[in-house]
Amino acid sequence: MIYNSPRGTEDYFGEEIKYRNFLIEVSKRLFDLFNYSEIITPHFEHTEVFSRGIGENSEIVNKEMYTFFDKKNRSLTLRPEGTASVVRAVIENKLYSENLPLKLFYIGNMFRYERPQKGRMREFCQIGVEAIGSNSPSIDTEVIWLLYDLFEKLGFKNLVLYVNSIGCSRCRNDYINMLEEQLLPVKGDLCEDCISRLGKNTLRIFDCKVKTCREVLKNVAKISDNLCESCQKHFIEIKSLLDTIGIKYVHNKNLVRGFDYYTRTIFEIISSDIDSAQNALGGGGRYDNLIKEFGGPEISSIGFAIGLERTILLMKELGIRIPASCKPENKTYIINMDTAYDKYIFEILKFLRDSGIYCDINFNIRNVGKEIKFAQNNDYKNVIIIGEDEYEKKNIIIKKLLSYSQEEFSWISDKEKILNFLKKME
């Protein structure tokens, strides 16, 4: 019986791991530079954390959550995104009493029951940032800047930053009423999904990719033209700070983003190198009411998230190579020709590893030619072959795989010379 991993999940190894580690390393280095610190929350939470946090009307809560009852009949859910958990953790641990804003990042797996497609898995890894406890447009700008820099550092080119403001709860509610009034008479031109969004999740109609819906949206009022004075000022300040740090942006009046909790600033980064409707690399937004709704103080926040697997897929599609991992010049392979020499081999291995030489041995005995080929294909620079002669005489022969030069040493008296020869580049 051979088992397959469940649909929408994947095993990662080899080259894929190198990409994942590269992405995580680049992110962590950048978060450190911007003074964001890591937070780790559980992989599952009480279901209400998500149903209240993300919104009962959202697609995620309605269709995509992995919800189960534990043995005490409590409803638990595997986290489908990061923000709600982070907010729950900040309130529970009263982290907001510290110096604000709290600048946090998380890296971890999320779970959504979606139709799997390229770069979109049911278990996927998200890297996200939350800056909690500031209303200042400067923190919006910093978070946007961080996301922009991240894609730049990963090697993406031709980045375009979309920004928009979807207002506070006051000006947005007025706007949504107006939008619904404008949409009702042309309801017939909308797709089925949008008709069901109308009145329930009206703003999400702007997310629709259907052509007829896009036509309808061209002629309706836009939220960013209907902001209250304070939201307007906030948005203008962000744009001016983005100018200061030289990040070019496009004010995309049609930009709205998936979560109910967003207020004011939302943003998305796309690469014009990606030739598809789904060219967003990542994005985020401000959430001013979520913490209060969770029983915390009235403090506002902003964050973003990117999907690890999708980012890697796009890097590969765009031909972005990760830098070759540093391969030590002294990487050494010891070829053991008989298990009878194991003790001798382990003496050598212990000494070399203690001396900082990257080395490995063959644990199964194979043909020498095959072992040398293996060493060549795996970036080894030196090969040490231990056969009967070497074992008897307590000698070792070191072959340089690049120049094919070789030298013989006494294991008993030449240890320093052995190290020097191994480290020699040739």
- Please say which residue, 195 or 368, places its beta carbon nearer to Zn ion: 195
Only one of the segments 11-19, 147-155, 191-199, 321-329 lies at the binding site for Zn ion (rule: CB under 5 A); that segment is 191-199
- Please say which residue, 51 or 164, places its beta carbon nearer to Zn ion: 164
Using the rule CB under 5 A, is 231 a contact of Zn ion?
Answer: yes
Using the rule CB under 5 A, is 167 a contact of Zn ion?
Answer: yes
Only one of the segments 25-33, 171-179, 281-289, 320-328 lies at the binding site for Zn ion (rule: CB under 5 A); that segment is 171-179
Q: How far apart are CA 3 and CA 6, in angstroms?
A: 9
Query: What minimum distance in Å lies between the beta carbon of 175 and Zn ion?
Result: 9
Question: What kind and span of H or E run contains 162?
Answer: strand 159-165
Given its phi and psi angles, is residue 70 left (phi above 0), alpha (psi -120 to 50 degrees) or beta? beta
- Please say which residue, 182 or 355, places its beta carbon nearer to Zn ion: 182
Among 30, 127, 143, 168, binds Zn ion (CB under 5 A): 168
Q: How far apart are CA 147 and CA 269, in angstroms?
A: 8
Tokens of 144: 């946007």
Q: Distances in Å between the alpha carbon of 226 and those of 175, 191, 253? A: 7, 26, 11
Using the rule CB under 5 A, is 228 a contact of Zn ion?
Answer: yes
Using the rule CB under 5 A, is 372 a contact of Zn ion?
Answer: no
- Please say which residue, 235 or 411, places its beta carbon nearer to Zn ion: 235
Place of tokens 């800056």: 131
Using the rule CB under 5 A, is 191 a contact of Zn ion?
Answer: yes
Using the rule CB under 5 A, is 128 a contact of Zn ion?
Answer: no
Query: What minimum distance in Å lies between the beta carbon of 220 and Zn ion?
Result: 13
| Nearest Cα residue to 221 out of 166, 262, 163, 182 | 182
Query: What minimum distance in Å lies between the beta carbon of 102 and Zn ion?
Result: 24
SS3 69: strand
SS3 269: strand
- Please say which residue, 91 or 228, places its beta carbon nearer to Zn ion: 228
Only one of the segments 108-116, 201-209, 275-283, 397-405 lies at the binding site for Zn ion (rule: CB under 5 A); that segment is 201-209
Q: How far apart are CA 180 and CA 178, in angstroms?
A: 5
In contact, 75 and 46? CB cutoff 8 Å = yes
Using the rule CB under 5 A, is 208 a contact of Zn ion?
Answer: yes
Helices 415-423 + 342-354 axis angle, to 10: 70
- Please say which residue, 44 or 261, places its beta carbon nearer to Zn ion: 261
Using the rule CB under 5 A, is 194 a contact of Zn ion?
Answer: yes
Q: How far apart are CA 282 and CA 226, in angstroms?
A: 26
Q: How many residues bind Zn ion (CB under 5 A)?
A: 10
Q: State the Cα angle at 167 between 165 and 169, rounded to 5°.
A: 150
Only one of the segments 59-67, 186-194, 267-275, 357-365 lies at the binding site for Zn ion (rule: CB under 5 A); that segment is 186-194
Only one of the segments 61-69, 132-140, 226-234, 274-282 lies at the binding site for Zn ion (rule: CB under 5 A); that segment is 226-234
- Please say which residue, 100 or 195, places its beta carbon nearer to Zn ion: 195
Using the rule CB under 5 A, is 171 a contact of Zn ion?
Answer: yes
Among 213, 334, 398, 401, binds Zn ion (CB under 5 A): 213
Query: What minimum distance in Å lies between the beta carbon of 242 and Zn ion?
Result: 20
In this structure, the dihedral spanned by the alpha carbons of residues 289, 294, 295 and 296, taken in order and rounded to 10 degrees, is -60
Query: What minimum distance in Å lies between the beta carbon of 191 and Zn ion?
Result: 3
| Termini Cα distance of the chain | 50
Please give the DSSP secondary-structure letter assigned to residue 61: I
Q: How far apart are CA 241 and CA 356, in angstroms?
A: 49
Query: What minimum distance in Å lies between the beta carbon of 19 and Zn ion?
Result: 35
Residue 164: beta bridge partners?
266
Place of tokens 């203008």: 236
Query: What minimum distance in Å lies between the beta carbon of 248 and Zn ion?
Result: 26
For residue 348, which amino acid is it? I
- Please say which residue, 237 or 379, places its beta carbon nearer to Zn ion: 237
Only one of the segments 77-85, 231-239, 339-347, 369-377 lies at the binding site for Zn ion (rule: CB under 5 A); that segment is 231-239
Query: What minimum distance in Å lies between the beta carbon of 239 and Zn ion?
Result: 16
CB-based contacts of 169: which residues, under 8 Å, 6+ apart? 263, 288, 289
Tokens of 413: 């008296």
Q: How far apart are CA 321 and CA 357, in angstroms?
A: 28
Using the rule CB under 5 A, is 210 a contact of Zn ion?
Answer: yes
Only one of the segments 111-119, 152-160, 203-211, 353-361 lies at the binding site for Zn ion (rule: CB under 5 A); that segment is 203-211
Only one of the segments 92-100, 166-174, 267-275, 327-335 lies at the binding site for Zn ion (rule: CB under 5 A); that segment is 166-174
Residues that bind Zn ion (CB under 5 A): 167-168, 171, 191, 194, 208, 210, 213, 228, 231
